[in-house]
Amino acid sequence: MFAAVLVLIGGLVLGWSERAGAAADPLISRGKAATASSTEGSSYAAGKAFDGSATTRWASAEGSDPQWLRVDLGANATVSRVKLSWEAAYAKAYRLEVSADGVTWTAIAEEKAGNGGTDDWTGLAGKGRHVRMYGTARGTSYGYSLFELEVYGALDAGPSPTGPTPTGPSGGAFTVVAAGDIAAQCTASDSGCAHPKTAALAQRINPRFYLTMGDNQYDDARLADFRDYYDKSWGAFKAKTHPVPGNHETYDPAGSLAGYKSYFGAIAYPQGKSWYSFDEGNWHFVALDSNAFDQSAQIDWLKADLAANSRKCVAAYWHHPLYSSGGHGNDPVSRPVWRILYDARADLVLNGHDHHYERFAPQDPDGRATADGIVEIVGGMGGAEPYPIEQVQPNSQKRISGDYGVLKLDLTDSGYGWSYVGTDGQVKDTAPTYSCH
């Protein structure tokens, strides 16, 4: 093995990483959410390098530099060791980097004369939530390919991501996964069925909890359909899900929302109605039923709920978007709700209904761009057939149609950002970071 290179960042000398012996710290990257700059194909997704199997692998697109592979550890961690098991397509030169936010990266080790095989970097002193291999020169004419990338260290103390959802005002960063328009009438036995793939991705990310933005089940959202389709994919984490209904939940022959209510039970009706709110950290979440925005009971409840809120950051979610560049287009039914949220200085609105991904710049209820406006995201690519982009709306910043995926929301005590992650494990879009109002 060739000599490691000392890296000097901001006057801090990052120590020589001797590649011998095993570190005492535990493996903390197994099964965590992974993304990559590219993949050779669906069989070589980023997550394959973190699944614990010596026979599966991540592979980048061929013939292009740079390429990267990164993992989200789910919490800040002290990284003491990184082990890379290369396939024949190895990196001649690469950096190992850490980041607290997935945006600003610090190198903790660098290789300039790699020869493949196994690179075992021990004695590291990295600190961050995200770790990546950033390849700058290929060792072959192909791409980069890793059987496994293993990160060892110690996660910072905090609530377990698989434990009960805290309800008190405890602070700290956390991750939420969100999607709408999910379970078409198909199962994993059908290779073209998307909702099992988005469910697998959502589960790998392992967030604090999940949000759904309506049309959870197609076509008429009967209880039998929920059991046959949704339950076999997104149902795996139903207990950690905070759903809202869409228009398809109203089509049930047994009655509007009958199957939805029977399937989710108190999870969807924690306060006795199809709308409710809950707190996590410094965030207040408002779950609304846009099928009933004409009901004064929901509007009066919303005003009272926001007036009583003591959290700094506010996110609301429902099915029908006020603004959308997709087939359904803008839906003014939610404008009065937007006005109430805007007056309460809410930060973020999540919607579905149109089957694409779209993010908007902050705007007011009348569609005027303003720094103190609400950021809206359409996240309707949870599994139903994609809709094309038809008429681009003002303030629309990014639109993706055709790539199924989920929203990965990264929330802190005072702000938020997010990425749209495709079922191939690749980040399709990364949004700006916003501060809460």
**How far is residue 332's CA from residue 354's CA, in Å, rounded to a whole number?**
14
Q: Are 342 and 171 in contact (CB under 8 A)?
A: no
Task: Write down the pTM of the prediction.
Answer: 0.64
Q: Are 400 and 371 in contact (CB under 8 A)?
A: no
What the block records as the tokens of 24 is 């005492």
The CATH label, of 3.90.660.10, 3.40.630.10, 3.40.309.10, 2.60.120.260, for the domain at 7-155 is 2.60.120.260
What the block records as the tokens of 181 is 């328009």
Domain boundaries, the chain: 7-155, 174-435
pLDDT tens track for 69-87: 999 898 899 999 999 999 9
HSE value, Cβ hemisphere, 13 Å, CA-based, for 353 = 28
Place of tokens 């939420």: 176
State residue 11's pLDDT score. Answer: 32
Residues of the chain with pLDDT under 70: 1-24, 157-171
State residue 53's pLDDT score. Answer: 87
Q: How many C-beta atoms surround the C-beta of residue 99 within 10 A?
A: 18
Q: Which CATH class is domain 174-435?
A: alpha beta
Nearest residue to 60 (alpha-carbon basis) of 75, 45, 79, 78: 45
Question: Which residues fall within 8 angstroms of residue 197, CB to CB, at 6 or more apart?
Answer: 383, 404, 423
**How far is residue 49's CA from residue 34's CA, in Å, rounded to a whole number?**
8
HSE value, Cβ hemisphere, 13 Å, CA-based, for 37 = 17
Q: Are 208 and 161 in contact (CB under 8 A)?
A: yes
State residue 157's pLDDT score. Answer: 60
Transcribe 125-165 into DSSP letters.
Answer: -EEEEEEEEEEEEESSSS--EEEEEEEEEEEPS---TTSPP
